[in-house]
Structure formats: structure tokens, C-alpha cells
């Protein structure tokens, strides 16, 4: 009988308090009365009337199983809300189709419904509103820093509005890392954004081909508004998706995946070229370099040299206007960015503790522009402590991914988790480089990437959990819990 692939899912692990769970020990969240009591030995005294009544008062296994099923379905509702919210935020159908203008506020209502479904379900499953890995603590500190900066802002209403928008980002980030509990859920979420990225790249190439340059400097405007109308921000997003698409290609064992993922990579790289973003080019080079370095266990220098040759070939085959822009460092755009960088550093030095308030740097800029740098954006608007927290937030997500890759590399395992860990790590490095030229610290790009990293880390930790005994699984069944066996692990990325 052929082996049936299992589903990689840490649902049971996180609720059992077994090693590998990043949540708090949940085993003590079931009352003592809900745990099965040992049956009396034949030589022991028969059960008393009091013990019989106590046993009758305990919840039956069927009832517990029903409650668990309800909670799991509740997280399925939360996950469905997260996917729908992601589609609305990234795709923004109401901007593309005038007939859907009435859905312009739909993202808010979907987020609210997702939160309403998430809170009772999470409390019922784990007894806490969220797991508390280091990234959650750091992003909450960053949120606190933004709130403390509001009273000291020059325009408090602007700072308050910016902080409220950032609250939405943090809430959905927290929901993501708690709700995406299986390999399938993680892949669906990433594939959704990958599809949107490819469509965005095709539109960018078409605009470039047709000469639709709607921005100064003969540059295209992203077809999707909001996050992607700025070509530099669009390029940054595409940079973060290229390594993940390559990881999917390397881990795929199906012919369809081997054919589709390379097409996605080519489309997104072409989209980066059409954006004419110099920061996007630097981010892409660094991301591909890190990916090659992580995946090459031997002859790393050779693979890195191959990556550099490919990048050189990419530049040679790119349009002449693109090569000219890459070689230009003294144009008006570059000079303006350098001036804003210096100005933001000066503002940071003069307001080192709490900054000038979220979204308030434009009031201090000589040209009424943003900082064009995510790091000085946080430092000038929230203060130096918040900037350090922001950098720690980035690095704390990268370190465990590196550990996953090293562990699997040393064991000689060509696992899909190893490929995806390398892909997400390269994406984060690409973000760190490209965001040096964009004011994106409060936007969704980074928080989705870190969310992927946390979810992957929890899946990996669950896969390392020891095999429980048959008696443990029997006890789980008696109280309505799912079996805690690590044999549920193993579904392939396709």
C-alpha cells in the first residue's frame, strides 16, 4: 500500500506543551478533573460513592472532542478571514474595478470579523491571547514607542492616525502567527501573495512597454494603489518574493511546480527592472547571494561566483535606460534622498528619546518628503530606542531561520523546510537592504515576512518533537485531544 503523506501541523503540539512548542505550556490549562484518572487495580479497594460521583461529574470524551472541534473550526474561520483580508489589502479590487467601489472599507470589516472570531478561539485553545516569541514582544515594544511619541508630535492628529494604522498591522501580524498552524495554511497564504506579485509584474512590464510613465523621471506607476503605487515600494515587495518562489521551485516534486515557479521568478525580476528601482536592484543582488550561500553546502565560493555572473548577465540584458539609471548617482532623485537621509539623522540626534511623532518627519523635511529610509524613519519619528527595537525585530527573525538551515544541512536532509527557511531568510535580507531606500517601516511587507518566519519555525520545532508513547495517545483520545504523534509530519510542498 503506498505511503500516504501526512500533514505538517503543530496544532496538537502547541496544545500539549510538548517540546518544540513556542507557546506556553498548555497542559496545565485543562483542569485536573478533565484528565483521565487511573483505573483501580483489582487488588485495591473498590471505588467509593464519592469517587463515583466525581467521575460522573467529569466531562465525557465526546463532549471534549466536540469542544475541540469547535475551537479548531473557529481558527479555520480566523484563517479564512486572514486570507480574505490579505487579498483585499494586496489586491485592492475596488481600485481596479469601479463597480466594486462599495467594497473600499471591506478590509476593515473583514479584519474586525477576524479579530472577533480569533479572540475566543485562541483563549479556548491555549488560554492566552497570543504566543510570546521574542518577535511578538519586540513588535509590542515598537507599538508602545509609537504611542509614547504621539504627545510630543508637532501634529498630534497625524501621529495618532499613523499609530492607529500601525495597530492594525500589529494585530493582523499577531493573528497570523497564531492562526497559521499548518504547512498547508502557510503555503496558501504565500501563494496568494505570489499570484498577486506576478500579476503586478506583468502590469508593470506592460506599462513600460507602452511607455506609460506617470511618475517623474520617466517611471511607471504600480497598477495596484496603496502599497504598490510607488515603484520603489513595489520593487521592494517583489525582491522579497523572488527568493521564496525559488525555494518553492527547489522543494517542489511535481512537474507543474517545476514549470510554474521559474516563470514566476522571471516575471518578478522583470517587474523589478520595469520599476527602475536602484534600491530594488541592490536588494535583489543581496537576496540572491544569501540564498545561494545558504543552499550551497559545498563550494560556496563557486556558487556565489555563479550568482554574481548571473547578476552581471542580468544587467547586460536589461534595457539601456535601466543600466543608465543604475550607473547614475547624481541625479535629482538621488540627491534628494541623500539630503533627506542627512536631515532625518539630524532630527534623530535632536530628538533621540521619543522622536518627533509617527508620520511627522515630513513636517521637518526641507522638501516635505519622507525619510526614504526605514531605519531613520523609525529613529527620527519614535526615537533611538525604538530604532534599536526595530533592528532587533529584524535580526530575531533571521537567526532561527539560519539555525534551521544549519541543522538540516549538517544532517544532510534536503527538506522543504530547509529550502523555505533559506528563502525567507534571503527575503528578509533583501528587505533590510532595499528598505534602506524606502520609508516602509510601518507597512505590511516586513510583518508578513516575519510572520512566515515564526510559522515556519514552529513547524520545524513541531517536527522535532519526540514520538509519544501509545499510552499517551490513548489518554489524549480519552479527553478529546488530537494525538500528539510527530508522525503527522511530512506533507510535501508541491
pLDDT of residue 158: 93
pLDDT of residue 40: 47
215 three-state secondary structure:
strand
Average pLDDT value for residue range 421-430 = 94
pLDDT of residue 42: 46
Rounded-to-integer distance, Cα 433 and Cα 351, Å: 25
358 three-state secondary structure:
coil
pLDDT of residue 410: 60
Q: What cell was used for 100?
A: 466594486
C-alpha of 220 from chain center: 27
Buried residues in 222-261 as b, exposed as e (16+ CB within 10 A) = bbbebbbbbbbbbbbbbbbbbbbbbbbbbbbeeeebeebb
Q: Is the pLDDT of residue 202 over 70?
A: yes
Helices 444-463 & 416-434, crossing angle to 10 degrees? 160
Alpha-carbon torsion angle 334, 339, 341, 345, nearest 10:
170
Rounded-to-integer distance, Cα 469 and Cα 475, Å: 10
Torsion over CA: 315, 321, 324, 330 (sign): negative
pLDDT of residue 191: 94
pLDDT of residue 49: 53
Q: Is the pLDDT of residue 395 over 90?
A: yes
Helix (H) or strand (E) holding 190: helix 183-210
Residue whose C-alpha cell reads 528563502 in the numeric block: 423
The set of residues, in sequence order, having a beta carbon less than 8 Å from that of 299 and lying 6+ positions away, is none
pLDDT above 70: percentage of residues in the chain = 71
Helices 444-463 & 231-251, crossing angle to 10 degrees? 20
Length of the chain: 494
Helices (H) and strands (E) in the chain, counts: 19, 0
Amino acid at each position: 500500500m503506498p505511503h500516504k503523506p501526512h500533514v505538517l501541523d503543530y496544532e496538537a503540539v502547541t496544545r500539549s506543551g510538548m517540546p518544540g512548542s513556542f507557546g506556553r505550556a498548555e497542559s496545565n490549562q485543562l483542569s485536573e478533573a478533565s484528565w483521565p484518572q487511573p483505573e483501580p487495580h483489582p487488588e485495591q479497594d473498590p471505588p467509593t460513592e464519592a469517587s463515583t460521583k466525581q467521575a460522573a461529574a467529569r466531562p465525557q470524551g465526546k463532549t471534549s472532542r466536540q469542544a475541540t472541534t469547535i475551537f479548531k473550526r473557529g481558527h479555520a474561520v480566523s484563517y479564512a478571514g486572514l486570507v480574505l483580508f490579505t487579498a483585499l489589502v494586496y489586491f485592492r479590487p475596488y481600485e481596479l474595478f469601479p463597480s466594486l467601489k462599495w467594497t473600499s472599507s471591506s478590509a476593515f470589516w473583514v479584519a474586525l470579523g477576524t479579530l472577533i472570531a480569533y479572540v475566543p478561539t485562541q483563549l479556548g485553545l491555549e488560554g492566552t491571547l497570543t504566543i510570546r516569541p521574542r518577535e511578538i514582544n519586540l513588535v509590542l515594544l515598537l507599538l508602545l514607542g509609537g504611542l509614547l511619541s504621539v504627545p510630543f508630535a508637532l501634529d498630534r492628529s497625524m501621529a495618532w492616525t499613523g499609530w492607529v494604522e500601525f495597530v492594525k498591522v500589529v494585530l493582523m501580524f499577531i493573528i497570523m502567527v497564531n492562526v497559521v498552524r499548518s504547512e498547508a495554511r502557510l503555503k496558501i497564504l504565500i501563494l496568494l501573495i505570489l499570484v498577486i506579485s506576478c500579476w503586478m509584474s506583468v502590469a508593470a512590464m506592460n506599462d513600460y512597454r507602452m511607455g506609460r510613465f506617470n511618475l517623474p523621471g520617466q517611471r511607471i506607476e504600480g497598477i495596484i494603489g496603496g502599497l504598490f503605487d510607488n515603484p520603489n515600494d513595489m520593487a521592494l515587495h517583489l525582491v522579497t518574493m523572488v527568493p521564496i518562489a525559488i525555494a518553492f521551485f527547489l522543494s517542489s516534486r511535481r512537474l507543474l511546480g517545476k514549470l510554474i515557479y521559474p516563470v514566476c521568478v522571471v516575471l518578478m525580476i522583470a517587474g523589478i527592472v520595469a520599476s527602475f528601482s536602484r534600491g530594488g536592484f541592490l536588494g535583489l543582488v543581496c537576496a540572491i547571494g544569501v540564498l545561494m550561500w545558504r543552499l550551497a553546502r559545498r563550494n560556496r565560493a563557486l556558487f556565489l561566483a555563479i550568482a554574481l555572473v548571473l547578476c552581471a548577465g542580468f544587467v547586460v540584458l536589461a534595457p539601456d535606460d535601466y543600466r543608465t539609471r543604475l550607473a547614475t548617482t547624481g541625479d535629482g532623485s538621488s540627491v534628494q534622498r541623500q539630503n533627506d537621509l542627512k536631515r532625518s539623522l539630524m532630527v534623530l540626534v535632536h530628538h533621540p528619546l521619543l522622536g518627533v511623532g509617527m508620520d511627522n518627519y515630513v513636517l521637518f523635511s526641507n522638501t516635505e518628503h519622507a525619510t526614504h529610509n526605514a531605519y531613520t524613519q523609525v529613529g527620527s519619528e519614535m526615537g533611538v530606542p525604538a530604532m534599536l527595537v526595530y533592528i532587533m525585530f529584524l535580526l530575531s527573525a533571521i537567526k532561527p531561520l539560519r539555525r534551521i538551515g544549519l541543522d538540516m544541512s549538517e544532517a544532510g536532509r534536503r527538506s522543504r523546510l530547509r529550502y523555505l527557511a533559506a528563502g525567507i531568510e534571503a527575503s528578509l535580507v533583501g528587505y533590510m537592504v532595499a528598505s534602506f531606500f524606502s520609508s516602509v517601516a510601518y507597512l505590511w511587507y516586513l510583518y508578513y515576512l516575519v510572520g512566515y518566519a515564526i510559522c515556519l519555525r514552529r513547524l520545524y520545532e513541531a517536527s522535532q518533537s519526540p514520538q509519544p508513547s501509545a499510552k499517551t495517545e490513548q489518554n489524549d483520545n480519552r479527553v478529546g485531544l488530537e494525538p500528539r504523534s510527530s508522525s503527522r509530519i511530512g506533507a510535501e510542498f508541491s
